[in-house]
Amino acid sequence: MKARVAGMTNSIWPNDEKTVTLLDAARQGDSDAVNRLLQRHRAAVRRLVQVRLDHKVRRRVDISDVVQEVMVEASGRLDAYLADSTIAFHLWLRQITWDRIIDTYRRHRGSAKRSVDREQPMAPANPDQSSVDLAAQLHDPEMTPAAAATQREIAGQVEQAIEQMNDQDREILIMRHYEHLSNQEISQTLNLSAPATSMRYLRAIRRLRQALQEDGGPDFDDSEMPM
């Protein structure tokens, strides 16, 4: 069980305590704190862009350029955020990143067949560690390193299954397992209550297991995944 919890709480965003310190310094006019604050979150922004940006668009766009656009926009809007901080800094920065990803997709894909809501891919083109972790949690949390090839095979199946899920299920799974947001953070982002978010997640997990089993995948653990 420890393996499951560890895999789900490793947030891509930096530690909150240091962020709060830098935000306080920025409010006092410390320009160096502003630079350190944004630089400290650059890797997390890059990870989010890698996860969310369609791999077809990534062939045309340099991820570093998208990240830089996010940093520039965040810098320009930071004073307004500092004056009225209604949400955590990383959720505010996540929203700026998300908007920039949508804008990038629209510029480079134009009239796509998928709707705007489905313009964001829910997983990288190739299985990454988040996919492997989710596959292990669904299949066998105690899977040994010797079974790494099997893990990655299942991870690929998991990603394909997530891509075929409805918008609501796909979104909450990627937020939880690829962005590693907590239930409370997802609740804030989706404007839902914590219980409603938890129930939506559990339903999505059940449907993911069902989809994998229907595709002839291995038997998956039927116990509920912790939030």
Q: What is the mean pLDDT of the chain?
A: 80
**Per-residue model confidence (pLDDT) at position 19:** 93
What is the predicted pLDDT for the residue at 204?
Answer: 95
**Residue matched to tokens 């209550």:** 193
The confidence band for 147, taking pLDDT boundaries of 50, 70 and 90, is low
Cα–Cα distance, 154 to 217 (Å, whole number): 8
- pLDDT value for 199: 96
The owner of tokens 């630089």 is: 39
The Cβ of residue 203 has, within 10 Å, a number of other Cβ atoms equal to: 13
Give me the DSSP letters along 71-110.
HHHHHHHHHHHHHS--S-HHHHHHHHHHHHHHHHHHHHH-
Q: Please tell me the distance from the alpha carbon of residue 174 to that of residue 171, in angstroms, as a whole number.
A: 5
Say which CATH topology domain 9-118 has.
Answer: Rna Polymerase Sigma Factor; Chain: A (1.10.1740)
CATH 3.30.413.10 matches 124-214: no
Q: Which of 86-95, 100-109, 212-221 has the highest mean pLDDT?
A: 86-95
- Which has more confidence, 143 or 32? 32
pLDDT at position 125 over 50:
no
Q: What is the pLDDT of residue 45?
A: 95
Using the structure block, give the residue that is written with the tokens 């800094």: 89
Residues of the chain with CATH 1.10.1740.10: 9-118
| Between 54 and 105, residue with greater pLDDT | 105
Give pLDDT, residue 215.
Answer: 65
Q: Angle between the 194-214 and 148-163 helix axes, to the nearest 10 degrees?
A: 110
Task: Identify the H or E element spanning 162.
Answer: helix 148-163
Nearest to 51 by CA among 161, 148, 127, 153: 127
**What's the CA gap between 198 and 220, in Å, rounded?**
20
Nearest to 103 by CA among 46, 61, 51: 61
Q: For 148-182, write each residue's pLDDT tens digit.
A: 667 777 788 888 888 889 989 999 999 998 888 99
Rounded Cα distance between 195 and 99, Å, is: 27
pLDDT > 70? residue 110: no
Mean pLDDT comparison of 2-11, 93-102, 130-139, 157-166, highest-scoring range: 93-102
Q: What is the pLDDT of residues 183-211, one digit of tens each?
A: 999 999 999 999 999 999 999 999 998 98
Cα separation, 156 vs 138, whole angstroms: 13
Residue 101 has pLDDT above 60, yes or no: yes
- The end-to-end CA distance of the chain, in Å, is 12
Residue type at position 69: E
pLDDT band at 55 (very low <50, low <70, confident <90, very high): confident
Between 144 and 124, where is the model more confident? Answer: 144
pLDDT at residue 112, rounded to an integer? 44
For residues 196 and 98, what is the distance between their CA atoms, to the nearest angstrom? 23
